[in-house]
Amino acid sequence: MASQSASSRFRGIWPPLLVAAVFLGAWQAIVVINDIKPFLLPAPSLIFTNFFGDIDLMVAAGFYTGTTAFLGLVVGTLVGLLAALAAQRLVVVNNLITPLAAGLAAVPIIALTPILNNMFDITSRTPRVLIAAIIVFFPVFANVTRGLIQVRPVQLELMRSMNAKPRRVLRLLRIPNAIPFFFTAMKIASPLAVIAALVAEYFGGPQEGLGSRIASAAANTAYGRAWAYVVASIVLGLLFYLVVLAFERWAAPWTGRSGSA
């Protein structure tokens, strides 16, 4: 049984690893054969040399950006959950919040960041955390609201026939139904929080995060190092996603078999 499980896992892992190896090999060959300069396209060998050569700096910058993204993820998730609970309870709240949330999600990060930097101390994390929270809010609110509202009519009628109060219906029916939707939202929102934190770091403030390091390295024509920070950013985003995926499999393993979200 254990050998079959390990074999199935290997079959699921090797195709993307093979595609990545072929892609990086082709990239390296194109750069070397055509003698492409690093400021146009650095070779993967140069990128990884910079990445592992400054691994301590990569980890420190990744930790700073990851902390900012995590704080924004927590704030955006909590506000999104509270808004979703209010929206499912009151139709008027749903009609008010949904278009506002959609409009807020459409605002570009590069437009919000300078405004928030002027509103708050630019040397603090607050503007960046708020940017990440704003980006996280919409997928959490939209998905959880859908999960809370779109329950099966027969189940809802059964609860009403038992004279169940709205709070009991929420606890026993709506929240369990919304769990797959919540984890779907988190798998979308967690990488978005990293992206938002990275973009927000381009517009001033402490120069400790990955976004600031990318901008600084590019400005100093250290393109191999800039791409190394990009690789660190990709790793950070994947780490956020994998943590959410692991938590989902631990807390709600049945959601992987659910087709509702």
> How confident is the model at residue 193, as a pLDDT?
95
Q: Is residue 18 part of a domain?
A: no
Between CA 56 and CA 82 the distance in angstroms is 39
Q: Is residue 240 part of a domain?
A: yes
> How confident is the model at residue 68, as a pLDDT?
94
Q: Is residue 67 part of a domain?
A: yes
Q: Is residue 125 part of a domain?
A: yes
Range of the domain at 141: 54-257
pTM of the predicted model as reported, rounded to 2 decimal places: 0.85
For 131-189, the pLDDT digits (tens) are 999 999 999 999 999 999 888 877 777 777 777 777 777 778 888 888 999 999 999 99
H or E stretch including 6?
Answer: helix 2-34
For 6-21, the pLDDT digits (tens) are 565 656 677 778 888 8
For 54-86, the pLDDT digits (tens) are 899 999 999 999 999 999 999 999 999 999 999
| Domain count within the chain | 1
Q: Is residue 76 part of a domain?
A: yes
Between CA 20 and CA 22 the distance in angstroms is 5
- At 133, list the tokens: 């929270």
Check which CATH number belongs to the domain holding 168 and give it.
1.10.3720.10
Residue 260: pLDDT over 50: no
